[in-house]
């Protein structure tokens, strides 16, 4: 292919489903070459996403890169392969992550280490090697990380390890932005709240079971705690990322952006109250 073309190249990790898929679709619709990453075990899902992107989003180019983001060697090779394929890398979206739902006091050390290896180490490696490539190119760039509402305030239970990783990503994002600004590289993160993804469905199932509720009932109650009354979609986060990687966002860096203004509107307070009510319900302390 013509490597002199100035079509932007975006690498999205964890793109086989959920928010990663939504971001990949949006950036493809924006006219970018999209390089999609996930684990080899997610090959079927990633292939399906690539085929759908080519058919629906009209992607100029779409490539697949299977790698474990917690492996330094694999991340280095992944980025090298993207550069070899397209001639460079303009946008790094470090989206890959896992969401363990285990009570803090029951969290095994092995699980704690695993979630930090994937969520935090993986983000570090993607930031580092994408940053090295962008500095080498000398044309600036955009680096995006995946924080969370749980990285703004430790809400609810079952998310101790996950929340720790998302707070860490916030801090890393802000620190790295300070270092890379002189190279015209911006570093930001998105912090979704309630987004309708497979990970959310798994979380809802666990919470509903603990509260002796049907998942549908719990999801409706959860939605009621959101000012707008409904969950967002991966495409909504794709829209946010689309802006953060655009030229218009050249003066935004070191920020972790919520997908709405829920933080200012008392969402976290309402969500905490909701969790308390669920906990009370699950323990049988229900007023009659």
Residue 35: which of 75, 91, 74 has the closest Cα? 91
Which tens digit of pLDDT belongs to each residue from 119-151?
Answer: 999 999 999 999 999 999 999 999 999 998 888
CA dihedral of 256, 262, 264, 268, whole degrees rounded to 10: -100
Average pLDDT on 96-121 reads 95
Which tens digit of pLDDT belongs to each residue from 150-180?
Answer: 888 776 667 889 999 999 999 999 999 999 9
Q: How many residues does the chain have?
A: 288
- The strand pair at 9-12 and 91-94 is best described as parallel
- Domain spanning 9-193+234-262: CATH 3.30.70.3280: no
Cα–Cα distance for residue pair 118/121, rounded to 1 Å: 6
Mean pLDDT rounded to a whole number for the chain = 85
pLDDT at residue 277 above 70?
no
Lookup: tokens for 35: 């390089």
Residue 282's pLDDT is: 41
Residue 54 annotated in active site:
no
Residue 162 annotated in active site:
yes
Of the chain, the percentage scoring pLDDT greater than 90 comes to: 62
Q: Where are the domains of the chain?
A: 9-193+234-262
* Range from 24-33, 120-129, 189-198 carrying the lowest mean pLDDT: 189-198
Cα–Cα distance for residue pair 94/244, rounded to 1 Å: 14
pLDDT at residue 198 above 80?
no
Cα–Cα distance for residue pair 12/174, rounded to 1 Å: 20
Q: What is the DSSP letter of 156?
A: S
Cα–Cα distance for residue pair 251/248, rounded to 1 Å: 8
pLDDT at residue 247 above 70?
yes
Residue 89's pLDDT is: 99
**Candidate list 86, 129, 162, 267, residue with the active-site label:** 162
pLDDT at residue 283 above 60?
no
Q: Is 230:18 a contact under the CB 8 Å cutoff?
A: no
**Candidate list 166, 207, 267, 275, residue with the active-site label:** 166
Which tens digit of pLDDT belongs to each residue from 42-101?
Answer: 999 999 999 999 988 766 689 999 999 999 999 999 999 999 999 999 999 999 999 888
Residue 156's pLDDT is: 61
């Amino acid at each position: 292919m013509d490597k002199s073309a100035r079509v932007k190249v975006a690498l999205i990790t964890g793109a086989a489903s959920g928010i990663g898929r939504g971001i990949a679709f949006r950036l493809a619709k924006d006219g970018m070459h999209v390089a999609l990453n996930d684990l080899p075990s997610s090959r079927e899902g990633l292939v399906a996403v690539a085929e759908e992107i080519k058919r629906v989003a009209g992607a100029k180019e779409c490539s697949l890169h299977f790698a474990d983001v917690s492996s330094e060697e694999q991340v280095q090779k992944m980025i090298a392969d993207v550069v070899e394929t397209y001639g460079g890398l303009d946008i790094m979206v470090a989206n890959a992550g896992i969401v363990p739902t285990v009570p803090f006091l029951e969290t095994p050390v092995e699980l704690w280490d695993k979630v930090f290896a994937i969520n935090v180490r993986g983000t570090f490696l993607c930031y580092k090697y994408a940053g090295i490539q962008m500095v080498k190119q000398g044309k600036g760039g955009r680096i995006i990380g995946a924080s969370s509402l749980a990285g703004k305030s430790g809400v609810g239970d079952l998310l101790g390890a996950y929340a720790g990783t998302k707070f860490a990503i916030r801090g890393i994002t802000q620190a790295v932005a300070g270092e890379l600004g002189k190279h015209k590289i911006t570093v930001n993160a998105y912090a979704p709240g309630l987004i309708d993804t497979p990970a959310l469905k798994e979380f809802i199932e666990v919470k509903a079971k603990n509260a002796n509720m049907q998942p549908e009932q719990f999801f409706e109650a959860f939605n009621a705690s959101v000012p707008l009354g409904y969950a967002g979609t991966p495409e909504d986060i794709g829209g946010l990322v689309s802006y953060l990687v655009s030229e218009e966002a050249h003066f935004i860096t070191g920020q972790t952006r919520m997908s709405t203004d829920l933080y200012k509107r008392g969402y976290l307070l309402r969500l905490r109250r909701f969790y308390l009510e669920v906990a009370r319900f699950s323990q049988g302390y229900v007023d009659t």
